[in-house]
Chain A
Amino acid sequence: MSITWTRRRLAFGRFWASFRTQRAGVIGLAILLLAVLLAVIAPLFIDAGVTNVVSGTGEKLSPPSWDDPLGTDESGRSVLLMIWWGSRTSLLIGFLAALLSMVIGTVLGIAAGHFRGWIGAIVMRITDWFLVLPSLVTALVLAAILGGSTVTIIAAIGVTSWPSTARLIRAQTLAVEARPYIERSQALGGGHWHITTRHVLPNVAPLLLASTTLEVASAIVTESTLAFLGVSANKTSWGTMLRGSYDWGAATSGAWWYILVPGLCIVIVVMAFTLCGRALENVLNPRLRKAV
């Protein structure tokens, strides 16, 4: 036990040392930690009431001022507080959708890579089918059928974004399984479960981490897109704020703060995830590491 832990700590130390050299990655990580921290501690300062139209007392679409540092929206709610509260929805959906997509992608990817032959072929054809489906349209249709709630939005995004992960994981699985120690393990009586969970999974995990980080970014964008197109979880998120600014003519009435602020928040967080993900890839993918 202690040996394993020492080894893991050493491995993490090596990983951290090489991650630290990626300056963009570190900046991304810092922004991410800050965003997550803010989202988590938000309930200590404000509650869902800031998004309640009935309690919105400010003027409609008033520009930034001391009272409302980022202006107000069409119902007199403070854009700053809505952004803060909305970050919880956006980040939650982003993380959980990416997680769901990762789980589906990993299971199917490893299955397709491990069980070659007709099982693998069928799984890959299903993956291909999902890959060619226009994911945004599918997600829209799914969300419309399932109705709007946080769970359905997460499901809609997760279910449509897993095929690329599955392909990636399958390729990695094939590479791992070609190694001699897998054959050795089989000879020693290792079953499918043992091989996939004890040998393949740990070896694809680093790649998975990098791809999931990138996946979160795209899930946040997808959530915003869906919300902008009118499919949302009934909660204030950055996407629904953008939608609101479009619906209530923020552009024609010159309310730049209402469009720019949620838009910039999305850009910054997505950027941070991307920076982090790329850095992880650089660190974890041996081929990229050589190139650097």
Chain B
Amino acid sequence: MRKWIGATAAMGMLALGGLAGPAAQAAEPSAPKVIRVGATQAMDSMNPFLAVRLVSSSIHRWMYGYLAVPDSKTLQPSPDLAESWTTSPDGLTWTFKIRSAKWSDGQPITAADAAWTFNKMITDDGAKTANGPAVENFASVTANGQDLTVKLKTPQASMLDNPVPIMPKHAWEKVGDIARYEANEYPAVTSGPYIAVEHKKDQYVKLKANPDYWRGAPKIDELQVIFYDNPAAAIVGLKKGDIDLIGRLAPPDFEALKGDENIVQWNTEGRRATYLQVNHGATTSDNKPIGDGHPALKDPKVRQALHYAIDKQKLVDQVQNGLAKPADGSIVPPMYKDFFWQAEGEKKVSFDVAKANKILDDAGYKKGADGIRTMPDGSRKLQFRFSIHTDAPIEEKLAEYLTGWFKELGITLTTKRLDSSKFTEETGTTALFDIAISGWSVNPDPEEVLATHLCSRRPTASGEGGGTESFYCDPQYEALYQQQLKELDRPKRADIIKKMEERLYTDAPVIALYYPNNLEGYRKDRIAKVTSIPEDKGMLYGGSGYWPFYTLEAVSKDGAAAEDDGSNTGVIVGIVAGVLILIGAGYFLTRRRKTVADDRE
């Protein structure tokens, strides 16, 4: 079988010899197809071991292969650099078959590259900055030819959602101190659809198409990412045509794009949940109280009352300009249909101030002469602080609404603005807050966001570690988490995860407010086609996986000229591309044809 394909490939090569000459000449005069993407965040590091910003992980996603990527239709894990995998019955040993493909410098990709990447992260603390937790559960990683064996400490159902890009061992093992390496050597050695060729700090990154990419080269020649200081400048850039696409827009910026006939406003369900984090009696990982949270919030009834006093639909209309979905669920947004849970019937909390007041009355929180409620023992008034970020108009407006509603309950809410680092410290480590705004962009596998509410994520007494989103520590939730880790059957696991979301909804350590839409914009006079993820009304820049940027098609600049001899050139280009893919297939095809067929949709 392989021989036959090899022969076809060889024939293709011969045919190409005849065609390529004129085709190349015909294609040469047309300008290179460049697409420019705007970002309101600059790259923090070109070194994937260090980069933590979203823009950086996106760019790295376009440059490097992963073990698996979310499928562009279902968002379920599908083969990437690992073309297939098997799990041992106890769920502790995973064996991945690494695809026979090439790095952009021509070296073969082997399991040794993947093993080096993971082992580097396990052994070198400096390499843990970006994705440290992803390898925490790894006992050992070994390579044998194209076979990668990962032994885990405990079963992990989210293994295929591993966020670590596989790095070329031959290019990276000579790096001395990985924690200080900025990886500013170009062209970069990559395995994904694009190769970084230039990076000017805080200005731009230029990426060239990888002609040897195993799925076939992208349809554009160059992808540039331009960094802007603020969204307003980026919006002007898009309108003027300095950039062709921008993602992650705030509602007012998105609305500013209205009325421009060349700009497509891309408004889809987002992958983020915005919620309130309630200090329900924060404790450290050794169960000692920490922080200065208001004692009333320890009472689930008070938290429930607060939940009833929030008009989520009004928040969506006023705060998000209607570009969001009110949250009747918990921390997993509805775009992940498999894992999304929604409250129904009795359990559903809907806006009802009278009911909220009744809950508080029944629980013994009596109103004083000034209309403010006090603790049942009269010790303290119900005066809460609401921590938000500085420079965040949306949070600011949200605070105004919450203050208004809580006032009707006899609860005073004062807004406390904090800069990012202080905010993270007070709401994540020292627990110096009552109620705080928070949110999380959920990955196709929700394990990480679920883990942020585990006992083990609480900080230590010395204020280290952590990553908790709520200081939550609930035996029922813990048990469910452990259960879903071991459950490798997807529907069954989804059911357990839904139970966890329900627990968070009813116990209310966090109160989900809304799921903001993913707002993006692109110029249709520049971008002819872009496939979102998931394909049916999904995300572009904000999505996970490289599909949108791999499938980008540019509008050809010289439209008229292309039409004259278009049919001919088009056919030739088509044939060349087809033959190239065939050659690629013939070359890369290993023992199992079936897997390859699965990959190339």
Contact = CB atoms under 8 A, between A and B. Distances in A.
Interface residues of B, number: 23
A249 B231 CA distance: 12
A247 B393 contact: yes
Nearest to A236: B400
A234 B414 contact: yes
Interface in B488-529: none
A247 to B, nearest CB: 3
A53 interface: yes
B318 interface: yes
B397 A234 contact: no
B256 interface: yes
A115 interface: no
Q: Secondary structure of the A side of the interface?
A: loop
Interface stretch (B415-423, B451-459, B531-539, B572-580): B415-423
Given A144-B419, A231-B390, A252 B401 contact: no
A56 to B, nearest CB: 9
Contact of B405 (A54, A148, A249): A54
A287 B405 CA distance: 59
Nearest to B399: A234
Interface residues of A, number: 20
A247 B417 contact: no
Contact of B401 (A54, A147, A234, A243): A54
Contact of B397 (A75, A249, A253): A75
B338 interface: no
Interface in B97-119: none
Contact of B252 (A75, A234, A248): A248
B345 to A, nearest CB: 28
B396 interface: yes
Given A55-B404, A144-B390, A249 B255 contact: yes
A234 B412 CA distance: 13
A253 B252 CA distance: 10
Contacts of A231: 390, 417
A102 B144 CA distance: 78
B185 interface: no
A285 interface: no
Contacts of B256: 249, 252
Given A53-B318, A247-B252, A230 B391 contact: yes
Contacts of B252: 247-249, 252
A244 B318 CA distance: 13
A131 to B, nearest CB: 26
B417 A148 contact: yes
A52 B404 contact: yes
A193 to B, nearest CB: 42
A144 B414 CA distance: 16
A151 to B, nearest CB: 13
Nearest to B389: A230
B418 to A, nearest CB: 8
A54 B402 CA distance: 9
B437 to A, nearest CB: 15
Nearest to A76: B318
Contacts of A144: 390, 417-419
Nearest to B317: A60
Given A53-B318, A54-B404, A148-B417, A247 B390 contact: no
Contacts of A53: 318, 397, 400-401, 404
B407 to A, nearest CB: 8
Contacts of B391: 229-230
Contact of A234 (B255, B404, B415, B418): B415
A230 B401 contact: no
A244 B392 CA distance: 11
Contacts of A252: 252, 256
B6 to A, nearest CB: 60
Nearest to B318: A75
Contacts of A243: 393
B256 to A, nearest CB: 5
B289 to A, nearest CB: 23
Given A54-B404, A54-B405, A230 B318 contact: no
Interface in B417-433: 417-419
A147 B426 CA distance: 13
16 contacts: A52-B400, A52-B403, A53-B397, A53-B404, A54-B408, A74-B318, A75-B318, A75-B397, A147-B416, A148-B415, A148-B417, A230-B417, A247-B393, A248-B252, A249-B252, A252-B256
Given A53-B397, A144-B419, A148-B416, 11 more contacts: A52-B400, A53-B400, A74-B318, A144-B418, A148-B417, A229-B391, A230-B391, A234-B415, A244-B393, A248-B252, A249-B256
Closest CB pairs A-B (n = 3)? A54-B404, A247-B393, A249-B252
